[in-house]
Amino acid sequence: MAELTPERVREALRTVLFPNFRRDIVTLGMVGEEIAIDGDTVRLHVRPGTDKPEVLQQLARAIDAALRRLPGVAHVDVHFARAEEGRGRDPFAQRAALPGVARIIAVASTKGGVGKSTVAVNLALALAGDGRRRVGLVDADVYGPSLPIMFGTDARPRVGPDKRIHPLERCGIKLMSMGFFLDEQSPVIWRGPIVMGIVRQFLRDVEWGELDLLVVDLPPGTGDAPLTLVQQVPVAGAVVVTTPQDVALLDVGRGMAMFAQVSTPVLGVVENMSGY
C-alpha cells in the first residue's frame, strides 16, 4: 500500500469541485499549505470565502468522500476559515469584462411561458428609448429563440474577415440570437457543452462595440446557460420574471438562490400577466 502523504491528499482533493463551478478547490487555492496526517486521520484547513451553511456542508461531504477513498484514511477533520479571512483564488477571477460593454443585465425565469423574453425585449427597448443609452440584447435561449419574430426580421448577422460576428440592429438595439442562424423547421437538439459554447461565443465573439447595457435573455431554469453567463462575465444584476400562479411562484426562490450563490444581485422580480 502506497504511503499516505500530503501530496496524495492534495491530489485527491483535486476531485472536489467548488459548488456550482467547474474548478476544484486545489486549483482555486482554497486548500491550506499545512495538511496534517496523524495515523488514519487527515486534518486540513480550507478557505472557501463564504459562511453559507449549505456551501460548507456540501464541501465538507465532498472532501470527506474524496479523502476516505484513499487507503488508510478513516477520519477527516476539516477546518473552514471564516469568510472575512478571504479565500484562495476567486472563483470569479477569470470573469473578464466584455470590451466596450459597461454593464450586463440578465433576465431569467425558472419556468417557461411566463413572458421572460417579452420582458427582456421591452426592457431593452425602454432602456434605449430616450436615445441616451447604447443597448444590446442577447437571446441566450438557444432552444427557443424568439428575437427574430419579436423584432420582425429574418436577416442573418454578418461575419467579418476577422471571424467576428456583427450583430443586427433594430430599433436602435444591437441583437444576437440563435434564431438568426436557423430556419423555422430546424430543431435544436444540443447537449449542455454545446449550449455553453454558444453562450460564450455570443458574449466573446460578437462585435458589440461600445454599449452602456447588454441585456441577456436567459433560457428558463438554472442550468448550463445561466451558469455559463455568470462564470464568464461580471453580471451587474438579474431580473427574475414570474406569473402569479402558484406553480410558477414555487421556483422563484430557487432562481434567486442560484443568483445569490454566484454573487449576482437580483435587481427585482417582475410579476407578469398579473391582470389575467
The 3-state DSSP class for residue 157 equals coil
Q: Do 110 and 233 have their domain in common?
A: yes
Which strands sit side by side in the sheet containing 211-217, from one edge to the other? 168-170, 173-177, 135-139, 211-217, 101-108, 237-242, 266-271
CATH of the domain at 13: 3.30.300.130
Q: How confident is the model at residue 57 (pLDDT cuts 50, 70, 90)?
A: very high
**Is 224 part of any domain?**
yes
Examine the fold and report which residue of 33, 61, 85 is the final residue of a domain before the chain moves on.
85
pTM (two decimals): 0.66
Q: Do 68 and 161 have their domain in common?
A: no
Give the residues across from 66 on adjacent strands: none
The pLDDT, as a whole number, for residue 181 is 82
pLDDT digits (tens, 9 = 90+) for 3-16: 889 999 999 999 99
**Is 1 part of any domain?**
no
What type of residue sits at position 9? V
User: What's the rounded Cα separation, in Å, for the pair 122 and 116?
Assistant: 10
Whether residue 61 is predicted with pLDDT greater than 80 in this model: the reply is yes
pLDDT digits (tens, 9 = 90+) for 147-191: 999 999 989 899 889 889 999 999 999 999 988 887 666 555 555
The pLDDT, as a whole number, for residue 195 is 67
Residues 6 or more apart in contact with residue 5 via CB below 8 angstroms:
37
**Is 95 part of any domain?**
no
Q: How confident is the model at residue 276 (pLDDT cuts 50, 70, 90)?
A: low
Q: Do 259 and 208 have their domain in common?
A: yes
Domain extent for 227: 101-271
Examine the fold and report which residue of 85, 112, 128 is the final residue of a domain before the chain moves on.
85
Q: How confident is the model at residue 85 (pLDDT cuts 50, 70, 90)?
A: low
Burial class of 249 by CB neighbour count within 10 A (0 to 12, 13 to 18, 19+):
middle
Q: Do 126 and 80 have their domain in common?
A: no
H, E, C per residue of 213-269: EEEEECCCCCCHHHHHHHHHCCCCEEEEEECCCHHHHCCHHHHHHHHHHCCCCEEEE
- Grid look-up 437580483 returns 266
The pLDDT, as a whole number, for residue 26 is 87
Distances (CA, A) of 31 to 28, 71, 185, 226: 8, 21, 51, 28
In degrees and rounded to multiples of 5, residue 149 shows phi and psi of -75, -35
Examine the fold and report which residue of 85, 113, 134 is the final residue of a domain before the chain moves on.
85
The pLDDT, as a whole number, for residue 116 is 92
Whether residue 143 is predicted with pLDDT greater than 80 in this model: the reply is no
Q: Do 144 and 55 have their domain in common?
A: no
Q: Do 213 and 239 have their domain in common?
A: yes
The pLDDT, as a whole number, for residue 257 is 74
Average pLDDT over residues 89-102: 70
Average pLDDT over residues 56-77: 93
Number of residues that this document lists for the chain? 276
CATH of the domain at 250: 3.40.50.300
The pLDDT, as a whole number, for residue 95 is 64
> What percent of the chain lies above the pLDDT cut of 70?
88
The pLDDT, as a whole number, for residue 70 is 93
Chain centre distance of CA 28: 17
Whether residue 90 is predicted with pLDDT greater than 60 in this model: the reply is no
- Grid look-up 454558444 returns 198
pLDDT digits (tens, 9 = 90+) for 110-122: 888 899 999 999 9
Out of 59-63, 166-170, 192-196, 229-233, pick the least confident.
192-196
pLDDT digits (tens, 9 = 90+) for 211-269: 999 999 988 887 777 777 877 788 888 999 988 887 777 778 777 777 876 778 888 88
